[in-house]
Amino acid sequence: MSKLFYNKYKKSLDFFIKNALNEDILTGDLTGEACISNNSFMTAKLKVKSPCIIAGIELVEKILKYYDSKIEFKKLIDDGAFANSNSTPFIVKGNAKSILATERLVLNTMQRMSGIATITNKLKKKINPFKTILLDTRKTTPNFRYPEKWAVKIGGGENHRMGLFDAIMIKDNHIDFSNNIEDVLDKTHKYLNKIKTVKPNIIVEVRNLLEIKKVLKFKWIDRLLLDNMSVSELEDAIKLIDGKFQTEASGQINEFNIVDVAKTGVNYISMGALTHSAPHIDLSLKAC
C-alpha cells in the first residue's frame, strides 16, 4: 500500500524530499564538517519511545537514499504496524556525516506521520462496525500535505481530494459569493459541459434541509457534504436524501461523537483533526 501511494504521487513526494533537505542542509552541515571525519561510518537505529502506529518508513528510506545512495537501510517493521515502546522499526548503516545530516528530517517526518497514522487508526477502529469511510481534509501543513495524507492512508483512513485540482467541491463561500445555491450549480453544470476532461467528482456542501431540498434536482452531483450538523439533523438529512447522493458528515466531529455520527448512515466522515491536531510520536535515532 505504501509503495502504491509513493508511485502515484512520486513527483510531488520527490519534490518534498529535495526541498526539505535543502531547507535544513543547504550548503552543508557545518557541525558535521567540523567534527566528523569523511571516512567515519556508523550504525544507527530508530527507537520508539511511546506505542504508536508507525508511519513514514518507506518515505524515510527514500530520503536517506536520495541524500546518500550508499546508505544501507534495513526495515524491521512495516508502515501501518503497531510499534511498542523500545521497538526498532529500522536500522541504518553508512557514512556518519550523511546519517547525522539527515537525522532531523528523518525524525520530523516519522514523528509527524506516526502521530497522524495513530489517531487515524484509533478513530477508524471506532467506526469499523459501520460502512462509513473516514476521510482527511485539506487542513494540512503547507508543503507537507503528501506525507500527511500518506500517513492517513497508513492509519486506515482514506484521502479526500488531494487539492483544488482533482475535484469540484462547492462550499459555503462559493454559495455566499453568488446569488444562491441554484445559480452556483447551474454555472457548474455549464462548466462541466465545456471541459473535455473526465468529469471530476462533484461535492456540494449543504448547511440545512432547505439547501438539501434545493439541490435534489441536480442529479449529476456525486456527494452532499452535511456541514456542522447535529446527530439528529444528520438523521433528518439522510432520510431526506434517501440514497439519491452519497453523503459526507463534516465539522464538530471528534472521538466522543464519531460513533453516533457513523450510526446515522453517512457514507463518509471527514475530519481535519486527523492532520491538524495529531500529536507527534516521540522517536529517536541513536548510534548502536
Cα-based distances in Å from 122 to 42, 136, 155, 252, 274: 36, 14, 8, 17, 10
Share of the chain above pLDDT 70, in %: 99
Portions of the chain given CATH number 3.90.1170.20? 2-118+279-287
**Residue 1 above 80 pLDDT?**
no
Identify the pLDDT of residue 198. 83
Torsion, Cα of 61, 67, 70, 76 (10° steps): -20
Portions of the chain given CATH number 3.20.20.70? 126-276
Amino acid in position 250: S
Average predicted confidence (pLDDT) for the chain: 96
From the number of C-beta atoms within 10 Å of its C-beta (0-12, 13-18, 19+), residue 220 rates as: exposed
**Residue 120 above 70 pLDDT?**
yes
Identify the pLDDT of residue 45. 98
235-274 pLDDT, tens digit per residue, is 999 999 999 999 999 999 999 999 999 999 999 999 999 9
Sequence-distant (≥ 6) Cβ neighbours of residue 182 within 8 angstroms: 214
**Residue 106 above 90 pLDDT?**
yes
Identify the pLDDT of residue 163. 96
Topology (CATH level 3) of domain 2-118+279-287: Aldehyde Oxidoreductase; domain 3 (3.90.1170)
Topology (CATH level 3) of domain 126-276: TIM Barrel (3.20.20)
Query: Region 95-123: what's the mean pLDDT?
Result: 98
